[in-house]
Amino acid sequence: MAGKFELKKSKNDKFHFSLLASNGQVILTSEMYEAKASAVNGIESVKKNSGDAARYAKLTGKDGSPYFTLKATNGQVIGQSQMYSSEATRDAGIQSCMNHGPDASVNDLTAG
């Protein structure tokens, strides 16, 4: 089973997406977008950039938890991971994003 993007609308009418692994675990979450079209463009950017290891930044949160961001070619952050318990699990998250991102389907949950 492949990964998938879930496109959602927040309570304040902004749009965001998550990339889920084949097991349903969230790998990457986007920022909030004013327009649905911008969120869709963000998904396309993740598809285009997620297979390139050079697009990932390995970071550490204030509490010491490792996490990563995925950047577009212009250096803008497209998405951020959850906080991980170790650098090894964070690196596995990056690998999962690289494996699932380029070919993930899109599940649009914004209708209704």
Residue 111 in domain:
no
Banded model confidence at residue 2, pLDDT cuts 50, 70, 90: confident
Residue 37 in domain:
yes
Closest CA to 56 of 70, 66, 44, 45: 70
- Please name the residues in contact with 28: beta carbons below 8 A apart, sequence gap of 6 or more: 18, 19, 46, 50, 70, 79, 80, 81, 97, 101
Number of domains in the chain: 1
Which structural domain, as residue segments, surrounds residue 31? 4-104
pLDDT at position 111: 75
Banded model confidence at residue 1, pLDDT cuts 50, 70, 90: low
pLDDT at position 105: 96
Structure pTM? 0.93
Mean pLDDT of 76-97: 96
* Domain of residue 92, CATH code: 2.30.29.80
Residue 112 in domain:
no
Q: Is the pLDDT of residue 69 over 90?
A: yes
Q: Is the pLDDT of residue 112 over 70?
A: no
Residue 28 bridge partners (DSSP): 19
Return d(Cα 80, Cα 68) in angstroms, integer: 6
